[in-house]
Chain A
Amino acid sequence: MTPVLRAQRLGKRYRRRWALSECTLDVPAGHVVGLVGPNGAGKSTLLNLATGMLTPTEGTIEVCGGPAGGSTQQLAKVGFVAQDTPVLAGLTVAEHLKLGAKLNPGWDDALARRRIEQLGLDPAQRAGKLSGGQRAQLALTLGIAKRPELLILDEPTAALDPLARREFNQALMEIVSEEGVSVILSSHHVADLERVCDYLIVLVSSQVRVSGEVDDLLAHHHRLVGPRRDVTTLPGDQLVVSESHTDRQTMLIVRTEAPILDPAWRVESVSLEDLVLAYMSLPAGAVPGPRPTLERVR
Chain B
Amino acid sequence: MIWLTWRQFRVQAAAACALLAVVAATLLIAGPPLTGSQARLAEAANVVYLGGIVAVYVLPAVIGAFWGAPLVARELEAGTVRLVWNQSVTRSRWLDAKMGLTGLAAVLTTAVLTMAVTLWSDPIDAATRPNTIHAVSDEGSAPEVFAARITPWLFGARGIVPIGHALFAFVLGVAIGILLRRTVPAMAVTLAVFAVVQIATPALVRPYLIPAVRETVTITGSSIDRLGPDDDGVLELGVAGPRGAWILDNRTTVDAAGKEVTAPDWVMDCVPVPTTKPTPQAEVTTAQCFARLSDLGYRQRLTYQPADRFWTLQWRETGLFLLLSALLSALCFRWTKRRLP
Contacts and interface: CB of A to CB of B under 8 A. Distances in A.
B37 interface: no
A286 interface: no
Which of A48, A51, A99, A104 has its CB near the most chain B CB atoms (within 10 A)? A99
Contacts of B89: 72, 75, 103
The number of chain B residues touching the other chain, given as a range, is: 20 to 34
Contact of B78 (A86, A95, A99, A106): A86
Interface string A212-253: 000000000000000000000000000000000000000000
Nearest to A55: B338
A146 B88 contact: yes
A89 B90 contact: no
Contact of A78 (B83, B84, B86): B86
Contacts of A98: 3
Interface string A57-87: 0000000000000111001101110111011
Contacts of A99: 3-4, 87
Contact of B8 (A86, A88, A146): A88
A297 interface: no
A107 to B, nearest CB: 9
A49 interface: no
Interface string B1-26: 10110011000000000000000000
Interface in A238-295: none
Given A54-B341, A55-B338, A103-B4, A75 B82 contact: no
Contacts of B86: 51, 53, 75, 78-80, 82, 143
A91 interface: yes
Chain A interface size, under 10 / 10 to 19 / 20 to 34 / 35 or more: 35 or more
Given A53-B85, A54-B341, A90-B8, A71 B90 contact: yes
B88 A53 contact: no
A15 interface: no
A87 B8 CA distance: 13
B46 interface: no
A76 B86 CA distance: 8
A103 B341 contact: no
A51 B86 CA distance: 8
A298 interface: no
Interface string A96-108: 0011101111100
A4 to B, nearest CB: 16
A250 B184 CA distance: 59
Given A103-B1, A103-B4, A75 B87 contact: yes
Interface of A: 48, 51, 53-55, 70-72, 75-76, 78-80, 82-84, 86-91, 95, 98-100, 102-106, 139, 142-143, 146
Given A54-B341, A87-B80, A88-B8, 9 more contacts: A72-B90, A75-B90, A86-B83, A88-B84, A95-B7, A102-B4, A103-B87, A104-B88, A142-B83
19 contacts: A53-B82, A55-B338, A70-B90, A75-B90, A78-B86, A80-B82, A82-B79, A82-B82, A83-B82, A88-B80, A99-B3, A99-B4, A103-B1, A103-B4, A103-B84, A104-B87, A104-B88, A142-B87, A146-B87
